[in-house]
Structure 1
Amino acid sequence: MNTRTASCSCGQLTITTQADPLRVSVCHCLACQRRTGSVFGAQARFNRNFVTISGESNQYIRVGDEGSKITFNFCPNCGATVHYAVEGYDEESIAIPVGAFADPSFPVPAVSVYEDRMHSWVILPADIQHTA
């Protein structure tokens, strides 16, 4: 079990985890591409019981491809998303963008979703679980 801290760009909004991630994944959906400004989103899910959130956040709610609401919590100062939750998907967990940890030794993603929208030049780990 590792203690890790994620934060926004200015450091005002932070999350400390006291457990290893339940799952690390990458998402190639167009909404994640727009949200991150990159070609995919990388996120880690943690059990909420092992997470401490500090600082203020604003929320943005969008409806996903399957109709569920996703609530993104971002820093009101710098705008960086620091955590989010998907309605109806394991209410006991919280998703944190991997980049918010700024830790190159963070665990490798095990799952890749919405690969039908993946950029052709992206190369994923050989043993990753693939979904359309």
Structure 2
Amino acid sequence: MKRKAMCTCGALTIVAHGEPGKISACHCQECQRRTGSAFGVAVFFATEVTAVTGPDALFSRIGDSGLPVEFHFCPTRGSAVFWKPDFKPGMTAIAFGCFEDKEGLSPTQSVYDAHRHLWVTIRTP
């Protein structure tokens, strides 16, 4: 299986082959700020099965683990497409909303539930 994700204008793309290792709905305040929504959804793939094309800009911040998280986003439109958290070496998280085809992708876990808004319900397998 090949899955393609891209920024708003389509200039920055990432293609992942195979099935994701996990899909995480994250309710932390940083994900809420990054997405402008109630939560973010990260689809994790082994970095070795991903291929990036197009220009990107980087933003790095220290995560709750104390380790850096490197965000890659479109330098033209600002869409955060994927990120590489140092606390998960060898893994790349791709923003769920950036995928062309979301069929079959649903969260396998929900994290930072202490920050989850009461009106949000996530059903995981």
Pair in the same fold by TM > 0.5: yes
In structure 2, the gaps of 5 or more residues are none
CA offset at residue 106 of structure 1? 3.8
Matched, 1:113 2:111: yes
Matched, 1:50 2:14: no
1:10 matched residue in structure 2: 9
- Secondary structure of 1:124's match? coil
Give every structure 1 segment of 4 or more consecutive aligned residues whose post-TM-superposition deviation is greater than 4 Å: none
TM-score with structure 1 setting the length: 0.90
In structure 1, the gaps of 5 or more residues are 128-132
- The change in CA–CA distance for 1:126 and 1:50 in structure 2 (over 3 A counts) is closer
- The CA RMSD over aligned residues, in Å, is 1.2
CA offset at residue 67 of structure 1? 1.4
> Whose relative contact order is higher, 1 or 2, with alpha carbons under 8 Å and at least 6 apart?
2
- The change in CA–CA distance for 1:12 and 1:118 in structure 2 (over 3 A counts) is same
Q: Percent identity?
A: 37
TM-score with structure 2 setting the length: 0.94
What amino acid does structure 2 have at the position aligned with 1:113?
V
Length, aligned pairs only: 125
Q: Distance in 2 between matches of 1:38 and 1:115?
A: 15
CA offset at residue 126 of structure 1? 5.3
